[in-house]
Structure 1
Amino acid sequence: MFKTDVQKLRNALEFTRVYKENANDIYLREAACMDFQLRHILVPMDENDGIAGRYEHDFVGFSSQVGGIYTYYFNEHEFLNAYMACKQNGEITAAEDYALQAVQAYWHEENTARKVELEFSKRYGYVPSKAFPGAGVGNCDCRVAGTNLDFEKLIRLGFDGLDQEIDRAAEVNGASSFYTALKLWIESLRGACERYREQALVLAEKAETEEAKTRFTKLAEALLNIQHSTPKTFLEGVQLMWIYAVSSDIMNYSRMDDYLGPLYAADIDAGRITEEEAVQTVLYLYKHFKEINKIHDCRVIIGGVGRKHRKEADRLAIVIMEASRRFRETVPQLTLRYYSDMDETVFRKAMEVNAEGTTFPIIYSDETNVPAVEKVFGVSHEEAEQYVPFGCGEYVIVGYSVGTPNNGINVLKALEIALHNGLDFYQNVSCGEKTGDPAQFDTFEKLYDAVLAQLKPTIDRFAVHKYLNYKIAGENAPYLHLSLLLNDCIARGKATFEGGVRYLNASSEMFGIISCADSLTAIKTLVYDEKKLTLPELIDVLDHDFEGHDDIRRMCLSAPKYGNDDDTADDIATRLFTDIADLTMAAGKAAGLDHYNIVSVNNSMSAEWGNFCAASACGRKAGSPMANANGASIGADKCGITALLNSMSKFDNTKHVGVINNVRFTKELFKGSMDKVEAVLKAFYDNDGVQTNLCVIGKDDLENAMVHPENYQNLLVRIGGFSARFVTLNPIVQREIIERTTYGA
């Protein structure tokens, strides 16, 4: 902790004063608030830094994502705890006491998330962020997450070039406080660079080793140069990107190999740095990633078509992967975009790094995703080539779109509620639609329609919530840090959420699709096709968690399952996926979004939300984990890796903006037969496979880690949309990971 609570409380008082004094102009207000904030949240470097930029947020502030989640935020609980402690300790004056009470009352109502909640509740009578896990099929919250900015433009133009672009636009569109605020934001960034430059000079003087003295001297020079010049070295490029990102709470870093590759290659070719020095520079950046520790975000993208500097980028991609191999942490979420004629050296390096159990890089297929993104987003081929996954795997287009995923929907829960005519059986709460007595579902289609009927109202309402999330953000703030590097905002003279961003997109996270699909397949097989049970009889067995009915559970487990290249099961999975996707897209259009699409990802909710679900007809016991993302139900993929990948490749990829396919290999197979594994994966990527999260580890290691966690502190596992140290996970999540299929020789 760099600041005391009393310092943070006083910062809250001053931030509030600045906010109120500029209340008449949201553009200048944000510029003033951000200038104050940067002077107080950016904290000093330490002696181990090689890149400048660290933060510690205050109780009140502005953030798109990290510090307070959403726009003008208020961490009220932390504020009140600090206030009570400081008051009790006599650390605040009587005048400050009165003023802090006023600040608490003011921000309780003025924080932007509160405004979204009120607007939504006026329409629907409840606040969705508080709707789950109490009951129902999902929840949602407020944030602006995952936007990938045009860092190539930042590197190419620098701060002065951006100033000039603003001036040219103002000549065309007329002067405005929006343009003035953008220039003030740039000046605030220059100020942050200068303050860190001064710190670097002091650290250089105090350095006890020649290495440290040289490191901080070079860093001070870089921080001076980037204030007005475009970066001329790899260090300057990394520093410029990072000072922008850390000042903005940007948590995804776009196509890093492309926008930094030319600087790296020029430095190497001129003999200014060695490859080892470049790796160390990347590791200094990774150090900051770890300090922030946003494991659900922190994407660094390498590879792929559509890069401006392919050869230079590939050279840097090798360095970045080597840094991840050595770093061996849960961040960054290094992601490689595969394409058929890519440099084989780059792909082999990715395989070798994964073989060491790093869980990175995640591999995405441009052969599949570029044409799919082109269609699903309705964009040009050139724009589609700039797709990137962020967060847990959702897609945005670099510099041209937003795509915040603010909600989760539990598809398996919708089936449970449909089987009980609107009742959440597991929690005994009536919260769904009255879709009819299941005894009257005399055809499978009636049951299937009832499940969709349970989902549709929530999907529709959450689309509205997404729209309000953006609308109210735009009414309260121009999001200067986004507007400056989203390519249409300056030209249009409009802030991000006032019509500046080209594509106003959003995504909806779906959980339990495969568990629901396998359950529907089992019901169709046992009840409607083979007539071994009536639906009420099966529901009663499920309500009692298969107690005394092991024979029926065996029938459920033996029914066709997704993940085995079985068309009976796969057809229902792909049908359910498509129908949910269509409902979501229609809801987005009705709500006013350009595109609203599903993602089938996992941020541990497949395990955690399974804990709130009754037993299901796929054979899953009550409270047990659901299938992870687009992976098979636990233990259900029994026909080998090729069959699993074939099932995963059957979805319509123009219906989603991200799916997660977790695949786990033993070290013996992955290392010993790397050529064969590589061939299988490439065949998947070339034939409609979207991506793979590769985890190279044995099941025995996972079992042992639960018993002796002290011996497995560095054991990394892939959850779905993120990685984690296995020993830090909730036991529910640990057990779900252990039970996944491991493919061996």
Structure 2
Amino acid sequence: MDFEVNLMEKRQMREELKYLIEFTKIYRSETDKYIREAKCLDCQIRKILVPMTKEEKIVGRVRHMVVGFSPQYGGLYTYFFHNVQVEKMMEKAGSCLTGEEREAVWECYRFWQEEKTVQKLQRRFTEKHGELEVDYKPYGPNIGMDDVRALPGEKTEVIKSLGVGSYPTARIALTIPDDDKLVRMGIPGLRDEVKRKQKENGESSFYTALLMMLDTVCLAADTYRQQAERLADAEPEYREALLKTAHTLKHIQIQAPENFQEGLQLYWLYSVISDQMNTGRMDVFLGDLYVNDLETGILDEEGAIALLTSLYQQYLFINKVHDTRVIIGGKGRRNEANADRLALAVLETSRRVKDVVPQLTLRYYRGMNEEVLNKALLVVGEGCSFPLLYGDDTNIPAVMKLYGISEEEAEQYIPAGCGEYVIEATSTGTPNCGFNLQKAVELVLHNGDDAYMKCQAGPRTGEPEELGTFDQFWEAYRKQVEPEMLREAWGEAECYYTAAENAGYLQLSLLMNDCLERGRAMLSGGVCYMNGAPEIVGMVTAADSMTAIKKYVYDEKRFTLRQVKDMLDCNFEGFEKERRLFLNAPKYGNNDPEADAMVLKVYEHVARAAIECTETVGLDHYTIVSVNNSASADWGEYTMASACGRKDGDPLANANGASIGADKSGITALLHSMSKYDHSLHSGVINNVRISKELFQNSYEKVKALVCTFLENNGTQLNLMVIGRDDLENAVKHPEEYQNLIVRIGGFSARFVTLNPVIQNEIIKRTTFEN
């Protein structure tokens, strides 16, 4: 058996390495970036489709190989190459390759080391903006896999670092195409539109490549059609369902979808082969087909849930917990009644499947369908971490002001990925870098030195004795933050510029507004708004620390700034009494005017610092997000003790939530603090709130009223988690009994027992509101 497995493994390696040679040859033979991309997509799709199984009702899976094209596969982008995998394959390949083939592989290896797009970005950034420091620190959420070289189980890696921030990971993510257009027009309709625009605007390789790309979509559909027909002959028990799938796959190649299954299948197949990791308003682009099926008897709700369940299994196969958004609800929907009927079916599917993806998201608004709202809260109350709740009454006016767009346009905002706002079919918004604001406070205390890294990481802004007033302290903090923000903005912009030079992102460009009309690819002047978003980490920790410093150093003069620095450097050891004092300083999350004012000061500064970079780097908008993922825990590990009372290595406050354990005045006070922000300065925040099961069950109407009041009164977003602290603690002790316990970390959800203990501990320590 081992011998057979070894032979099979070698055959697979040989096939993949031959694909590497073939893909590279195609890439090198074509100089036009659009035609090259279309040819590479055709080559790639013939190799990466995962065969369907007899149980699947909605088909389409891909497994990328060592080289290929993708907007964001594995955290990389455009033309990627996994050199470590090739090295390992060549070690094992042995005699299964001829000498000529081995030399061809190594020639490809040498070629892609310099040609992969991420390498081009790194060269471009270095040439224009200087060398990047290489530092040792824990793994964060925005690190490309080519930067990671740890063995399984190791905790730390070597990555590229930019002072208080992290190097942009170079993804072209969070681009939400017009799936409604895809489903309404179908492949033939899109093909006709491309030809029409080509005739109006003149021949161009862009239009030609789009037509070639549509052929590739049909190739994928027909590949699965043939598989379904073969399985139908081999599996009599599944024959009827498989033949229906085969018919669906044949039909979507030649006509626009006519029923719910066809619409769902076309949407998914197009999405998965283009690595579209997030979905827009599913209840809009499939609602009419769904209701028509119900009313004509083609389908009932259970049949629709079965199809949606199959789709959910495809989401789980991809396993992109930081993405996989699906949006329902909200203002500005076509045929709202039809959309709501499908929204109810989607909610029921999430209730039954109960897993970490998709990140089902409900856009709430005053006067919405009460049945949909009650269903959503029921699903959350049963232990799902979804749906996530977003307040249209707050967000639509804020998005209008932030982007300078009409209400009609703003109604199409999408919280994508971990919660970053993009405008459906109109904007990009990749969050390609992170920024640790508490690290900036640490740099101020150490005159630009990183106390954890033992190196200079920021400008010299003065020794503690030189910062005699809080205004001087604040000025030093600004000098740590602002140059770093500009550097990260350049990283974002250079990512787009490099991408545009290398590819057209044909699959996305086809469904983005204005690309066809202008005859330009998405990042080459086609998309309406080219936006970027730095992810802010540790904002509340930094603000709470500065509140304490201002109070005890500058206002009450209990300590000198040097004394505070020394206490933090020794992690409060020997200063337990002083630490209690810092812990008891005013804290955000309690509706405390002093603490909340400092958070707003920190927030508005970093938000405006990002916005001020926009014109300099040539983007349309550059605005912060505060969504965090697991970075609040991960990055806390390499951040020294802070003046809020937090110990060295402990988690930072998550997103816009309170410092751990600091929200002591009840859930209403916390929500008051969370509702004070000017939401026209950011493009996404996360508010995590955990309540007990008993509170939810015994006071449902009060909880519902609290949620609605918050979202209607400057509350932008709410992740409501109904779970007891005792469940979390028991899951640590007996993980085998809590395999299905799902928790919300920041901008994503996960099974609690699979999390790093550091993150588990941070979640356990968060406040659970019980009354």
TM-score (norm 2): 0.95
Give me the whole-angstrom Cα distance separating, in 1, the residues matched to 2:689 and 2:236: 48
Could you say which residue in structure 1 is the equivalent of 2:401? 375
Could you say which residue in structure 2 is the equivalent of 1:85? 92
Pair 1:28-2:35 in alignment: yes
Give me the whole-angstrom Cα distance separating, in 2, the residues matched to 1:221 and 1:129: 54
Q: Deviations over 1:594-636 (max 9, x none)?
A: 0000001121000000000110000000000000000000000
> Which secondary structure does the structure 2 equivalent of 1:252 belong to?
coil
Aligned-pair CA distance for 1:556 = 0.4
Could you say which residue in structure 2 is the equivalent of 1:503? 529
Could you say which residue in structure 1 is the equivalent of 2:23? 15
Give me the whole-angstrom Cα distance separating, in 2, the residues matched to 1:7 and 1:447: 61
Select 2:67's aligned residue among 27, 44, 60. 60
Pair 1:110-2:119 in alignment: no
Could you say which residue in structure 2 is the equivalent of 1:138? 165
Could you say which residue in structure 1 is the equivalent of 2:144? none
> Which secondary structure does the structure 2 equivalent of 1:364 belong to?
strand
Aligned residue identity for 1:589: E
Give me the whole-angstrom Cα distance separating, in 1, the residues matched to 2:514 and 2:315: 29
Pair 1:72-2:98 in alignment: no
Aligned residue identity for 1:712: Y
Could you say which residue in structure 2 is the equivalent of 1:525? 551
Could you say which residue in structure 2 is the equivalent of 1:403? 429
Could you say which residue in structure 1 is the equivalent of 2:600? 574
Unpaired runs of 5+ residues, structure 1, are none
> Which secondary structure does the structure 2 equivalent of 1:434 belong to?
coil
Structure 1 window deviating more from structure 2 (565-574 vs 424-433): it is: 424-433
Q: Answer yes or no: is the 8 Å Cα contact 2:447–2:463 preserved in 1.
A: yes
Could you say which residue in structure 2 is the equivalent of 1:197? 225
Give me the whole-angstrom Cα distance separating, in 1, the residues matched to 2:446 and 2:75: 39
Structure 1 window deviating more from structure 2 (684-693 vs 453-462): it is: 453-462
Unpaired runs of 5+ residues, structure 2, are 1-7, 139-157
Give me the whole-angstrom Cα distance separating, in 2, the residues matched to 1:101 and 1:404: 33
Q: Answer yes or no: is the 8 Å Cα contact 1:395–1:658 preserved in 2.
A: yes
> Which secondary structure does the structure 2 equivalent of 1:405 belong to?
coil
Select 1:728's aligned residue among 754, 766, 769. 754
> Which secondary structure does the structure 1 equivalent of 2:245 belong to?
helix
Aligned residue identity for 1:473: A
> Which secondary structure does the structure 2 equivalent of 1:307 belong to?
coil
Structure 2 CA distance for partners of 1:159 and 1:130, relative to 1, 3 Å:
farther
Pair 1:125-2:130 in alignment: yes
Aligned residue identity for 1:46: T
Could you say which residue in structure 2 is the equivalent of 1:231? 257
Q: Answer yes or no: is the 8 Å Cα contact 2:171–2:432 preserved in 1.
A: yes
Give me the whole-angstrom Cα distance separating, in 2, the residues matched to 1:129 and 1:394: 28
Select 1:631's aligned residue among 652, 657, 664. 657
Aligned-pair CA distance for 1:128 = 7.0
Aligned-pair CA distance for 1:288 = 0.5
Could you say which residue in structure 2 is the equivalent of 1:489? 515
TM-score (norm 1): 0.98
Q: Answer yes or no: is the 8 Å Cα contact 1:132–1:138 preserved in 2.
A: no
Give me the whole-angstrom Cα distance separating, in 1, the residues matched to 2:487 and 2:17: 37
Select 1:609's aligned residue among 635, 642, 661. 635
Q: Answer yes or no: is the 8 Å Cα contact 2:449–2:458 preserved in 1.
A: yes
Aligned-pair CA distance for 1:76 = 1.1
Give me the whole-angstrom Cα distance separating, in 2, the residues matched to 1:53 and 1:445: 58
Give me the whole-angstrom Cα distance separating, in 1, the residues matched to 2:695 and 2:350: 22
Could you say which residue in structure 2 is the equivalent of 1:94? 99
Instruction: Write out aligned runs for 1:535-550 (5 A).
Output: 535-550=561-576
Select 2:696's aligned residue among 648, 670, 675. 670
Q: Deviations over 1:11-43 (max 9, x none)?
A: 111100111111x21110000000111111112
How many residues get paired?
740
Instruction: Write out aligned runs for 1:707-722 (5 A).
Output: 707-722=733-748
Q: Answer yes or no: is the 8 Å Cα contact 2:137–2:638 preserved in 1.
A: no
Give me the whole-angstrom Cα distance separating, in 1, the residues matched to 2:12 and 2:602: 52
Aligned residue identity for 1:21: S
Structure 1 window deviating more from structure 2 (677-686 vs 581-590): it is: 581-590
Aligned-pair CA distance for 1:129 = 8.4
Pair 1:699-2:717 in alignment: no
Aligned residue identity for 2:33: I
Aligned residue identity for 2:691: F
Quote the RMSD (CA, aligned, Å). 1.3
Give me the whole-angstrom Cα distance separating, in 2, the residues matched to 1:279 and 1:398: 26
Instruction: Write out aligned runs for 1:134-173 (5 A).
Output: 136-139=163-166, 140-173=168-201
Pair 1:285-2:311 in alignment: yes
Instruction: Write out aligned runs for 1:382-421 (5 A).
Output: 382-421=408-447
Select 2:351's aligned residue among 312, 316, 325. 325
Q: Answer yes or no: is the 8 Å Cα contact 2:281–2:328 preserved in 1.
A: yes
Q: Answer yes or no: is the 8 Å Cα contact 2:76–2:169 preserved in 1.
A: no
Q: Deviations over 1:399-418 (max 9, x none)?
A: 00000110000000000011
Instruction: Write out aligned runs for 1:347-366 (5 A).
Output: 347-366=373-392
Q: Answer yes or no: is the 8 Å Cα contact 2:135–2:453 preserved in 1.
A: no
Give me the whole-angstrom Cα distance separating, in 2, the residues matched to 1:323 and 1:79: 40
Aligned-pair CA distance for 1:82 = 1.3
> Which secondary structure does the structure 1 equivalent of 2:680 belong to?
coil
Q: Deviations over 1:197-253 (max 9, x none)?
A: 1111111111241xx212111111111111021100100000000110011000001
Give me the whole-angstrom Cα distance separating, in 2, the residues matched to 1:477 and 1:297: 23
Q: Answer yes or no: is the 8 Å Cα contact 1:128–1:141 preserved in 2.
A: no
Q: Deviations over 1:700-735 (max 9, x none)?
A: 110111111111111100001000000111100000
Give me the whole-angstrom Cα distance separating, in 2, the residues matched to 1:61 and 1:721: 28
> Which secondary structure does the structure 2 equivalent of 1:435 belong to?
coil
Identity %: 49
Could you say which residue in structure 1 is the equivalent of 2:150? none
Pair 1:181-2:209 in alignment: yes
Pair 1:684-2:691 in alignment: no
Aligned residue identity for 1:94: G
Give me the whole-angstrom Cα distance separating, in 2, the residues matched to 1:149 and 1:131: 38
Give me the whole-angstrom Cα distance separating, in 1, the residues matched to 2:136 and 2:531: 24
Q: Answer yes or no: is the 8 Å Cα contact 1:402–1:504 preserved in 2.
A: yes
Q: Answer yes or no: is the 8 Å Cα contact 1:337–1:363 preserved in 2.
A: yes
Select 1:37's aligned residue among 32, 44, 57. 44
Structure 2 CA distance for partners of 1:511 and 1:582, relative to 1, 3 Å:
same
> Which secondary structure does the structure 1 equivalent of 2:634 belong to?
helix
Q: Answer yes or no: is the 8 Å Cα contact 1:57–1:67 preserved in 2.
A: no
Q: Deviations over 1:160-184 (max 9, x none)?
A: 1111111221122111110000011
> Which secondary structure does the structure 1 equivalent of 2:654 belong to?
coil
Could you say which residue in structure 2 is the equivalent of 1:305? 331
Q: Deviations over 1:541-571 (max 9, x none)?
A: 1111001111110110111000000110000
Q: Answer yes or no: is the 8 Å Cα contact 1:68–1:74 preserved in 2.
A: no
Q: Answer yes or no: is the 8 Å Cα contact 2:614–2:620 preserved in 1.
A: yes
Could you say which residue in structure 1 is the equivalent of 2:13? 5
> Which secondary structure does the structure 2 equivalent of 1:254 belong to?
coil
Aligned-pair CA distance for 1:456 = 1.2
Q: Answer yes or no: is the 8 Å Cα contact 1:511–1:606 preserved in 2.
A: yes
Q: Deviations over 1:242-284 (max 9, x none)?
A: 1100110000011011100001000011111110010010000
Aligned residue identity for 1:160: P
Q: Deviations over 1:657-680 (max 9, x none)?
A: 000000001111112211110000
Give me the whole-angstrom Cα distance separating, in 2, the residues matched to 1:61 and 1:724: 29
Select 1:261's aligned residue among 287, 309, 312. 287
Aligned residue identity for 1:190: C
Q: Answer yes or no: is the 8 Å Cα contact 1:563–1:643 preserved in 2.
A: yes
Aligned-pair CA distance for 1:588 = 2.0
Q: Answer yes or no: is the 8 Å Cα contact 1:131–1:138 preserved in 2.
A: no
> Which secondary structure does the structure 1 equivalent of 2:257 belong to?
coil
Q: Answer yes or no: is the 8 Å Cα contact 1:117–1:127 preserved in 2.
A: no
